Amino acid sequence: MSLAATDVLTHLEASGFRARAVPAGRASDLASSLDAWRRSRALDETFDRHTLYAFRFTPPEDLPAARSLIIVSNPQPQVRLTFCREGRSLPVTLPPTYVWRRPDAEVRAALLEVLEPEGYSVVRAVLPVKLLAVHSGLARYGRNNLCYVPGFGTFHRLVAFYSDLPPADDPWQEPLMLERCHDCSACRRECPAGAIPEDRFLLRAERCLTYHNEDPAPMPGWIDPAWHNAIVGCMRCQLACPENKSQRQWVEAGPEFTAEETDLLLQGVGFDDLPGETVAKLESVDLQDCADILARNLCLALGQAAHGTTGE
């Protein structure tokens, strides 16, 4: 076995990704960081319970001898979906990372291309990947709490894997914020929900529009319907960010839905009852699992599109 972790990172880079590897034991540092936030009661309890308790900080049973954690950044565009109502074409944005243009399976395949011939394997790690990316030196935090990778801005998806390949070294470092954020508050000013507070760096996740429009529960009354700008999630803090200047025009054309299809989706017709063609369009942008939020979110987003405030 002569493969070095640096060869793996170089291979990923040649495949269009960026990556770093740290010792597998660093997962416990991630756990300590979250625990510290819990102890200081900075995390909204419902958000924490529903979302962050899913993390697993020990190597998976199918790879107990894991030696490294490989964190990978995968560039992702915005996608423009087009709907049709009353004879008008209405563009609605699907933000980066929801559409898995190059799904996590592709990252895994790229890793296995070099690891498997040398007898190594990988298993997906369910960890706070931003924190891992920043500690590894792959990314920096922006004030909006998103991770910035040089050349990709925030337009990328993060995924982590455990491997039995030993890491070359331990590049672990304290989390860094982008220099630019020291005297910029563009994201904070753009967030109407107050999710990016003045008195602390940590996002108020329970205020984030995304937290609520990803959830099928009724939308809280304090959210103004005019804030919606995407089929799911939100683009405000990313589009307002000067650091994303070169990325924000990266929009790929996605499926176009006919007036009949738009009506069916707005009526909330179940996926089993939609025409095969419509389902295929939804699947092409990975929305097949969003049945419970699609009609509501589409209605909100089209309300904005009709007034010319969404899309490009």
Binding stretches for ligand B12 (CB under 6 A)? 33-34, 37, 51-52, 95, 97, 128-131, 141, 144-147, 154, 156-159, 175-177, 201-203, 205, 208, 210-211, 214, 233-234, 237
Which of 174, 282, 271, 177 lies closest to 231, judged by CA? 282
Find the length of the chain. 312
Which C-beta is closer to ligand B12: that of 109 or that of 176? 176
φ/ψ (deg, to 5) at 157: -110, 140
Which C-beta is closer to ligand B12: that of 163 or that of 297? 297
Q: What is the smallest separation between the CB atom of 147 and ligand B12, expressed in angstroms?
A: 3
Residue number with the smallest Cβ distance to ligand B12: 233
Q: What is the smallest separation between the CB atom of 91 and ligand B12, expressed in angstroms?
A: 16
Which C-beta is closer to ligand B12: that of 52 or that of 219? 52
Q: What is the smallest separation between the CB atom of 195 and ligand B12, expressed in angstroms?
A: 7
What's the CA gap between 77 and 68, in Å, rounded? 29
Which whole-number Å values give the CA distances from 68 to 39, 59, 62, 73, 127, in the listed order? Answer: 28, 10, 14, 16, 13
Q: What is the smallest separation between the CB atom of 234 and ligand B12, expressed in angstroms?
A: 4
Which C-beta is closer to ligand B12: that of 18 or that of 281? 18
Which C-beta is closer to ligand B12: that of 24 or that of 146? 146
Q: What is the smallest separation between the CB atom of 192 and ligand B12, expressed in angstroms?
A: 13
Q: What is the smallest separation between the CB atom of 286 and ligand B12, expressed in angstroms?
A: 13
- How many CB atoms are closer than 10 A to CB 201? 12
Q: What is the smallest separation between the CB atom of 47 and ligand B12, expressed in angstroms?
A: 7
Which C-beta is closer to ligand B12: that of 90 or that of 241? 241
Which C-beta is closer to ligand B12: that of 205 or that of 259? 205
Which C-beta is closer to ligand B12: that of 247 or that of 262? 247
Q: What is the smallest separation between the CB atom of 207 and ligand B12, expressed in angstroms?
A: 9
